[in-house]
Structure formats: C-alpha cells, structure tokens
Homo-oligomer: A and B are copies of this chain.
C-alpha cells in the first residue's frame, strides 16, 4: 500500500518547485532543503495519508495526485474539509496540538514529499525565508477556510457549486491545465459534503447548469461553456427577479 522511496528527483530540480518552495533561495540553501526532503511516498487511491489524533511528525507536499481531508466526529460522521492538488501542502492542522486533526485520503494514485517537522524547524532557523514561507502557507490556508465559511454560511446551492468549480479551475490553471476543463477526482457525495449539500442536490445542480448550457457534464469530466455565467452564478445574490424593491408602496 504505502510505498517508501528514496527520492530520485530533488526539490531543486522538481518540476513543480515554484509551487512548493520559496523563491530567492541560494544554492546552499537549496541543497539543505534537498537533503531535508529525502523521502517520497506513493499513495494509492483510497489510502489514508495521515489520520486524526496520530502524532504530528510531517507535512506533506503533493507532487502528483489529489487528496481530501475530512473532519471526523466522535459519532462517526465525517465531513470533507478540503481538497488538495499537486503543489499544495497537507498537514498544517497538526501543528497546533502536535497531532493531526483531520484525516487525509488520496482521491487518486498520488505521490507526496515528506517534510519532517523536526528537520524543517531546524532548517528554518538557518533559512529564515523558509520559516516565513511556511507561515504564509498557513495564513493562506486560513484565508481559504474563511472563503469556505462564507460559502457555507451564505450561498445557495448553485452558487456553492459554481464557486467550487471556479476555485478548482483556478488552482489547476496555475498548474498549467486548461482553464475551461476539469476532471473531478471526487464523488458527488464528497463534493456535497464539502459544500454542505447532499449528493442529490449536487447532481441536480450539475444537471440544471448543463441544461442552461453553462457547463457540459460527462460524469466526472466538466467543461465550462459560458465562464461569465458561471461567475455570475457564483456571485449570484439575486438574479431571479426585481433589482429595486417593488411592492413597498406606502403613501407617506
């Protein structure tokens, strides 16, 4: 299941280096980082990368593939907390209490680079920009979560799904993928869980968007036909009817 590999590709020569690493490192610093990131993990689809309550030893940078994290409740319910794609960092939730607070599962066969926290901290004392880099990534995660909160707190189902698609498309575009096409690696149920909806609502909403020719849906593969309408749908406060308040006719 979990295969360990001595790493053959170094960080300094990594294809997606820009996504993981701070910029402006000296050659020596880069060498130090190469030394630190010495193991890589292959994770098969469905496998767990780390588990809630386990001691926090490592952060994981995704080289290839896709993950979900889930919050699990005492009563067994689980909710998808986030999806992560290549170049993103997993495990930040573990820092606070020295144990992970989420479960992380691979949504497809994936590869991650292992960053041992101890070594990372040691190195960060030398390479200060690295410390700041981690801090920024954490802050970024906070900002993302706030976005997600807003979505769950005040958006209708269609706006949620539209935002979700736009978000994924944007992140994948930063990785060089087409920005109007998307292969979903997660089920409708996982999407629903992430968006605070049931799988039926997700399915219905996809169908509705397809009927309006905003997107084309072929099971897991999505093609955006009218980006503008998709964005409108994500912003979508009231589009159905009246802009100015009608029906408030009072004689003063």
Contacts and interface: CB of A to CB of B under 8 A. Distances in A.
Interface of A: 71, 73-75, 77, 79, 81, 92-97, 101-102, 121, 124-125, 128, 131-132, 134-143, 145-150, 152-154, 193-196, 235, 237
Contacts of A75: 235, 237
Contacts of A97: 139-140, 143
A196 B152 contact: yes
Contact of A193 (B131, B143, B153): B153
29 contacts: A71-B146, A71-B149, A73-B150, A74-B235, A75-B237, A77-B237, A79-B154, A81-B150, A92-B139, A93-B139, A95-B139, A96-B136, A96-B139, A96-B143, A101-B143, A101-B146, A121-B132, A125-B128, A135-B135, A138-B138, A138-B139, A138-B142, A141-B142, A145-B146, A145-B148, A149-B149, A149-B152, A152-B153, A154-B196
A234 to B, nearest CB: 11
A102 B149 CA distance: 13
Contact of A81 (B101, B146, B237): B146
Given A74-B235, A128-B125, A149 B145 contact: yes
Copies in the complex: 2
B235 A149 contact: no
Given A75-B237, A235-B74, A96 B140 contact: yes
A79 B139 contact: no
B92 A146 contact: no
Nearest to A94: B139
Contacts of A79: 149-150, 153-154
Nearest to A80: B153
Nearest to A192: B153
A92 to B, nearest CB: 6
A137 B135 CA distance: 11
A147 B148 CA distance: 12
